[in-house]
Structure 1
Amino acid sequence: MARRKATEQEPAAPRQRLGSVIKRIRDLMRTDPGLNGDLDRLPQLSWMLFLKAFDDKEQEWPVERPDYQPLLQENYRWRTWAGNDRFTGEPLVEFINDDLLPRLRALGDTSTSADLASKIGHVFQGVENRMRSGYQIREVLNEINKVDFTSSKDVHAMAELYESMLQEVRDAAGDSGEFYTPRPLTKFIVQQVDPRPGETVLDPAAGTGGFLVETLEHLGMERAESVRERRDIERSIRGIEKKPLPYLLAMMNLILHGVDVPQVESGNALALLRQSASPATQVDVVVTNPPFGGAESPDVVKAFPKKYQTAETAWLFLTAILDKLKPGGRCGIVLPNGVLFGEGVGTRIKERLLKECNLHTVVRLPDGVFAPYTSIPSNLLFFEKRADGRKAEQIHDIGGWATRDVWFYEIVPPAGSKRYTKTKPMRFEEFAECTAWWGGRGRDGRVENDRAWMVSATQLHEAGFNLDVPNPSSGDDLAHRPPHELVKELIETEHEILAILAELQSSLEATR
């Protein structure tokens, strides 16, 4: 028999088919006067996708959970209002704005913050329908109805498409003063911290869920062979996010990666961590990039022990994480240079870190990793809490510290580059040499080289707990570099800044 040629009648692959659906939706949204740019369009699409996914799941759950009762009344279920082709125009807009969204927000008033109703209520606390045309909304709903969230192929394809859209909204959000952790960093941190099945993993600054999604992939969520195995992985992943938009995006991101009911809390992480600072709520692993450079409210600061009180969020997150980790727990965290050399309260927190945890590795990142949103140099700190759970106050000499030596490793940009930029970002492959040097789970066989050096706890104590230790092999300091090279680099930097400003100006003019 002759081999049949591909025809237009053959169904398209899920990625291709859903890519066309998303493109059609975005084209429709661009014509609606209420939406202005990706910072409006992706949240609008996200809450609609969320309700479609939830409705599809509600039709599945009674099979897995015979006692499950639908959360929403019939007229508020997606299949009822979004599935009705004749429900359109102004009546549809009025229903969404005046009835549906207020009803969903009210679910957050339930007393138990961990239950499903409350989680959905918190998702919709900051949600608004920004589309003005009920006819455009109807067309968008009809496109979303082509997505089947009970199909693993559709979910997988949507997850890939959604991640690419998240990257776009992260870029747009960066122009508004927010920035998110680049995927290569989340992947490397999770890889090196190495969460294992059965361990609880927390990101207290979850953002759009990048660390949590990376952890799911690391734990093999897609390879889980049973419902029970998937549920165990789901329950082990936890997050906290303060801002409504990232919270919505994180919930949708996790749902698209196979999590039915994401264990992400909405609220001020520092306040929530202090409220639950008991051994029963401790976790095995923390992977995070907390906000830094900001100031926390006095009532939150006062909830911390007096000797560790500071308005700087990065210090407070580090302190809270030390309390949140179980004995033997592990952490990978992004922190700015200021934390390494900070004094006063910072010195006390670093002393506590070295006493209670084995700070085994500091990875020094090059300039531009978070370009163009911030030029603040940053570092990755990896540490393990001591197994005996002893507190800093119980340890009085260096011999009893959990940290004996700290290894530093310097990541450098590719040859020919001094820093990363928005157009030439960091790639995961650039961590390959560090991964090879790392020495696996046991960190065996580490040696000093032109990128790696070791400093003893005694040296750090004598230096006043200053962790801002430069690479002794580096000759790239300002005092020894030729003037013509410095001038050339300054000119290149100015050109990069002008290009970014020109791009921003074009974006602003396009939205006028």
Structure 2
Amino acid sequence: MIAGELKSKIDGLWETFATGGLTNPLNVIEQITYLMFIKDLDDSDNRRKKDNILLGLNDYQSIFDGEVKIDDDLTVNGDELRWSTFKDFAPEKMFTIVQTEVFPFIKNLKNNEEGSYARYMKDATFLIPTPGLLSKVIGELDDIYRLMDEEVQKDNSKNKEKALIINRGDVRGDVYEYLLGKLSTAGRNGQFRTPRHIIKMIVELMNPQVTDKICDPAAGTAGFLVESAEFLQDKKKEEIFYNKENRHYFHNEMFTGYDTDQTMLRIGAMNMLSHGVDNPNVEYQDSLSEQNTDRDEYSLIMANPPFKGSLDYNSVSKDLLKICKTKKTELLFVTLFLQMLKVGGRCACIVPDGVLFGSSKAHKSIRKEIIENNNLEAVISMPSGVFKPYAGVSTAILIFTKTGNGGTDKVWFYDMTADGFSLDDKRTPVKENDIPDIIERFNHLDKEVDRKKTNKSFMVDKKDIVDNDYDLSINRYKEIEYKPVKYPPTEEIIAEIEKLDKEANDALQELKALLKD
């Protein structure tokens, strides 16, 4: 979460744009995004070059090496395009280089490829009006990056015991969330931005593999895809980069994301590229419509789909309505995930609590479909404060595997009550955090079988769920342990009250006597 000096610096950057003449929030966010991307390109290029040398591959070609062609009429020294180089230039020279060289360079970076990045950058426009504003903004962004790195070091020192490694991408994601929160249109279609630590938890629970084909049908800024890429580059680095086929698959075929917001798609494409994925499939598409023909395609879906908002019911895919006839987007998306997964594919999705216990025919039908015809593995209930300050809705994470022929035996339930932050609008860090425990227990479900239903986590037999009309709310199965309290006899209680009453009266009389004196 963004707080303290980092929050103040970002607010100050926003004010700098306003005083410099750029006041449209969407334009401001886009310009900040472009500049952050330029900075990340420099950092990512240096990091990948070092990793390549450490792996002994020595085949990495830096995008900044030698003479770089900007367009048909312009070729420049690639080193000038690096953030670390031009940030130290005088304002006039910096402005000229960024406007005429750096910005065209990032727009044309993948121009010779039919990828999502090239597609969404075609309409990108450099709008910063003066050298003075650009110089000031770049200086302030440098300070923000310094603070982000300090946050990373601080968080990692705190989390050593939990083995929860934070990287700049985590903090950068929070910065994006905070910036996007300044848009007055944010959340108009029910898109609650997923906190970075919740995304990280879900990715760790699902443990992506090198062979997975990963999709988020409601991708936004591609948070789940970015975190999956980071996870794989950290845990499976040698498997990916020592193998030519795996490396090509990672960069070109592994990741797919859909959204209906062009700005989010542009940010998502840049986000993926700056996190080491050269050509992700980030597409404009209404995932619920007939336009989406992906069926039996993916081995892993992770998503936080919209919970409400506008829906063109007439355009909803007919095969979704056959399973779940409803206008509720959260139910349609869960149905969609089942359709898009191939047999054996896994899904972890965030849903509002109503999906767990809603009594409508549509609610029951999708729960029955997952439990009877597939394998529901886990239901993790999250507290309502997780999405604050954007929304106070109570949510849960459903984890299931598509089998097409059942398989649900026991379902693991976990009652998350703390996520490491206060559950109010401020969301300040606190010691209480169930996330490490959730990850540890999910990875050892065999040890959960005999746990009592009075604990935070426990198993529930499929039969009990079926008998409860496929209700998945944890409170339906959680047992409260009542401890008998032995009280003294009534006579002793009355005697104690009389004693206290006498002591209070004596003290009152003493006070009155003192006042008379």
Aligned to 2:313: 298
The reply to whether residue 131 of structure 1 matches residue 128 of structure 2 is yes
Aligned to 1:199: 212
User: Take 1:350 and 1:312, find their aligned partners in 2: how far apart are those partners?
Assistant: 14
Q: 8 Å contact 2:382–2:396 — kept in the other structure?
A: yes
Q: 8 Å contact 1:104–1:121 — kept in the other structure?
A: no
Supply the RMSD in Å over aligned alpha carbons.
5.0
Q: 8 Å contact 2:306–2:329 — kept in the other structure?
A: yes
Q: Which amino acid aligns with 1:294?
A: G
Alignment of 1:347-496 (within 5 A): 347-386=364-403, 389-390=404-405, 401-413=406-418, 419-424=423-428, 429-440=433-444, 445=449, 447-450=451-454, 451-470=456-475, 472-473=477-478
Deviation at 1:265, TM superposition (A): 1.8
- 3-state DSSP class of the match of 1:291? coil
Aligned to 2:119: 121
- 3-state DSSP class of the match of 1:461? helix
Q: 8 Å contact 1:406–1:454 — kept in the other structure?
A: yes
Q: 8 Å contact 2:194–2:387 — kept in the other structure?
A: yes
Q: 8 Å contact 1:203–1:286 — kept in the other structure?
A: yes
Q: Which amino acid aligns with 2:119?
A: G
Q: 8 Å contact 1:439–1:445 — kept in the other structure?
A: no
User: Take 2:379 and 2:318, find their aligned partners in 1: how far apart are those partners?
Assistant: 29
Q: 8 Å contact 1:123–1:247 — kept in the other structure?
A: no
Question: What is the TM-score normalised by the length of structure 1?
Answer: 0.66
Q: 8 Å contact 2:192–2:306 — kept in the other structure?
A: no
User: Take 1:449 and 1:264, find their aligned partners in 2: how far apart are those partners?
Assistant: 43
- 3-state DSSP class of the match of 1:332? strand
Equivalent of 1:258 in 268, 276, 284: 276
Percent identity between the aligned chains?
24
Q: 8 Å contact 1:288–1:332 — kept in the other structure?
A: yes
Question: Taking structure 1 as reference, are residues 170 and 436 closer, same or farther at Cα in structure 2, changes over 3 Å only?
Answer: same
The reply to whether residue 42 of structure 1 matches residue 57 of structure 2 is no
Aligned to 1:315: 331
Q: Which amino acid aligns with 1:115?
A: E
Which has the higher mean CA deviation after the structures are superposed, 255-264 or 460-469?
A: 460-469
- 3-state DSSP class of the match of 1:255? helix
User: Take 1:76 and 1:28, find their aligned partners in 2: how far apart are those partners?
Assistant: 32
Deviation at 1:381, TM superposition (A): 0.6
Equivalent of 2:356 in 329, 336, 340: 340
Task: Tell me the matched-pair count.
Answer: 424
- 3-state DSSP class of the match of 1:423? coil
User: Take 1:275 and 1:71, find their aligned partners in 2: how far apart are those partners?
Assistant: 38
Q: Which amino acid aligns with 1:210?
A: G
1:448-468 deviation digits (Å, cap 9, x = unpaired): 342234433333333332323
Q: 8 Å contact 1:88–1:137 — kept in the other structure?
A: no
- 3-state DSSP class of the match of 1:168? helix
5+ unaligned residues in a row in structure 2: which ranges?
1-8, 50-58, 62-67, 143-165, 482-517
Which has the higher mean CA deviation after the structures are superposed, 238-247 or 130-139?
A: 130-139
User: Take 2:170 and 2:459, find their aligned partners in 1: how far apart are those partners?
Assistant: 40
Q: 8 Å contact 2:174–2:195 — kept in the other structure?
A: no
Q: 8 Å contact 2:204–2:439 — kept in the other structure?
A: no
Q: 8 Å contact 2:301–2:337 — kept in the other structure?
A: yes
5+ unaligned residues in a row in structure 1: which ranges?
1-20, 146-155, 391-400, 477-512
Q: Which amino acid aligns with 1:32?
A: G
Aligned to 2:264: 246
Alignment of 1:148-159 (within 5 A): 159=169
Which has the higher mean CA deviation after the structures are superposed, 356-365 or 208-217?
A: 208-217
- Which structure has the bigger radius of gyration? 2
Q: 8 Å contact 1:290–1:314 — kept in the other structure?
A: yes
- 3-state DSSP class of the match of 1:369? helix
Q: 8 Å contact 1:35–1:41 — kept in the other structure?
A: yes
1:108-136 deviation digits (Å, cap 9, x = unpaired): 9x9xxx922x54222455x4544343663
User: Take 2:459 and 2:249, find their aligned partners in 1: how far apart are those partners?
Assistant: 39
Q: 8 Å contact 2:419–2:433 — kept in the other structure?
A: no
Question: Taking structure 1 as reference, are residues 315 and 329 closer, same or farther at Cα in structure 2, changes over 3 Å only?
Answer: same
- 3-state DSSP class of the match of 1:360? strand
User: Take 1:471 and 1:464, find their aligned partners in 2: how far apart are those partners?
Assistant: 11
Aligned to 1:212: 225
Deviation at 1:472, TM superposition (A): 4.7
